[in-house]
Amino acid sequence: MRTQVVIIGAGPSGLLLSQLLHLAGIASVVLERRSAQHVLSRIRAGVLEQGLADMLERAGVGARMHAEGLPHDGFAISVGETRLRIDLKALTGGKSVLVYGQTEITRDLMEAHAERDADVIYEADHVTPLGFDGDTPKVSYMREGVTHEINCDFICGCDGFHGVSRSSVPDQAFTVFEKVYPFGWLGILAHVPPVDHELIYANHARGFALASMRSHALSRYYIQVPTSTHTDDWPDKAIWQELKTRLGDEAASAMETGPSIEKGIAPLRSFVCEPLRFGRLFLAGDAGHIVPPTGAKGLNLAASDIHYLSEALIEYYGEKSQAGLDAYSQKALARIWKAERFSWWMTMLLHQFPTLGPFDARMQRAEMDYLVSSRAAQTALAENYVGLPY
């Protein structure tokens, strides 16, 4: 079998890239290790930058996002007893974010692929990128006991942090930068109305909490937990009580509780792989970088990678120019590092660090006091939250 681009991974990165290439007349095959149902069962991001919303529109999958997505002009942030609303619209000259779950984005992209009978192969085992250091790359995979090989021009590793693409590159060919945080996020989804019309990020003495949502009837909440925590340690009743404590009296009195329909723990890390290109293999999305979800940047960074990579491939096939492909890694990393900084800064501000001393606690306090007192500081936060330019 032969195609122009093999994409490894059918998460948002891989499916969005495949869709944009298709619209430009470029053929691709997507190889996904899990079933479509499993991919949809993972509850992840919830906040879209305008750049991602625009890309989904361009990809022809924006209709439900516009119909069901919730525009948010601001959010609340609290440290201890001090609470501040970040007025995104006023601070960024009219920009905002859209609340629309990653699961729904993936569902919309899957439907668009199914409608055109696209080459997305689910439950592909032992996917292996080969020959990408030369001019004749190929990818082998096994399905239902039969081994297949796909010859191609390029391989795009959109297979996430634990994927095969980055691990297929010799260690000496790349450098990783990593910071693992001493806690995780326990997240729940519940069919209850959100506690507020906007998100609330709280740094309470007992730990971080986030009140988010997926719709006016579906809420998404998180609490900071030690890395050793298991979901069994946190029955629903205990989670709701902890959320009421950490989010404060006003939220506690308004909070509607109910059974969780999903409960999971995500570790928090900052991670960057440099470079993102290895011959004819390109890394995009979580395959190349990870941010702590505090800044709502993970999915949005994947989007800007896909913007740069799709434009570069379209230029290559349309104009026979390598310029975009040669510039991809440096261009993507420039925006990645700025989002890494913002996500790290939000994480350091909003979490309890038992291992850090009283001076660091005072730094959090001073950071919050500066935010409250400075429009410039609030503007800096707001312009990063709505998304820096591509």
| Residues 270/178, Cβ–Cβ less than 8 Å | yes
Q: What are phi and psi of 78, to 5 degrees?
A: -135, 140
The listed partner (ligand FAS, ligand PHB, none) that binds 120, CB under 5 to 8 Å by sort, is none
Interface residues toward ligand FAS, by CB under 6 A: 8-14, 31-34, 39, 44-46, 102, 124, 127, 158-160, 163-164, 266, 285-286, 293, 296-299, 302
Query: In this structure, what token pair is assigned to residue 209?
Result: 């909490």
The least distance separating ligand FAS from the CB of residue 363, rounded to whole angstroms, comes to 25
* Whole-number Å distance between alpha carbons of 202 and 218: 20
Is 212 near ligand PHB (CB under 6 A)?
Answer: yes
* Whole-number Å distance between alpha carbons of 111 and 281: 27
279 to 298, contacts with ligand PHB by CB under 6 A?
293-294, 296
The least distance separating ligand PHB from the CB of residue 220, rounded to whole angstroms, comes to 4
Q: Closest CB to ligand PHB among 104 and 311?
A: 104
Tracing tokens 């001493």 back to the chain, one arrives at: 182
Cα 243 off chain centre by: 24
Query: Active-site residue numbers?
Result: 72, 201, 293, 297, 385
The listed partner (ligand FAS, ligand PHB, none) that binds 294, CB under 5 to 8 Å by sort, is ligand PHB
Is 47 near ligand PHB (CB under 6 A)?
Answer: yes
Q: Closest CB to ligand PHB among 156 and 199?
A: 199
| Residues 165/283, Cβ–Cβ less than 8 Å | yes
Q: Closest CB to ligand PHB among 13 and 300?
A: 300
Q: Closest CB to ligand PHB among 44 and 166?
A: 44
The listed partner (ligand PHB, ligand FAS, none) that binds 384, CB under 5 to 8 Å by sort, is none
The least distance separating ligand FAS from the CB of residue 320, rounded to whole angstroms, comes to 28
* Residue 325, C-beta contacts closer than 8 angstroms, at least 6 positions apart: 277, 282, 312, 313, 315, 316
Which residue(s) pair with 178 in the sheet? 271
The listed partner (ligand PHB, ligand FAS, none) that binds 11, CB under 5 to 8 Å by sort, is ligand FAS
Is 220 near ligand PHB (CB under 6 A)?
Answer: yes
Q: Dmax of the chain from CA atoms?
A: 64
Q: Closest CB to ligand PHB among 328 and 385?
A: 385
| Options 41-49, 226-234, 262-270, 281-289: segment touching ligand PHB (CB under 6 A) | 41-49
For 210-245, b where at least 16 C-beta lie within 10 A, e where not — what string? bbbbbbeeebbbbbbbeeebeeeebeeeebbebbbb
Total residues in contact with ligand PHB, by rule CB under 6 A: 9
Query: In this structure, what token pair is assigned to residue 124?
Result: 């592909």
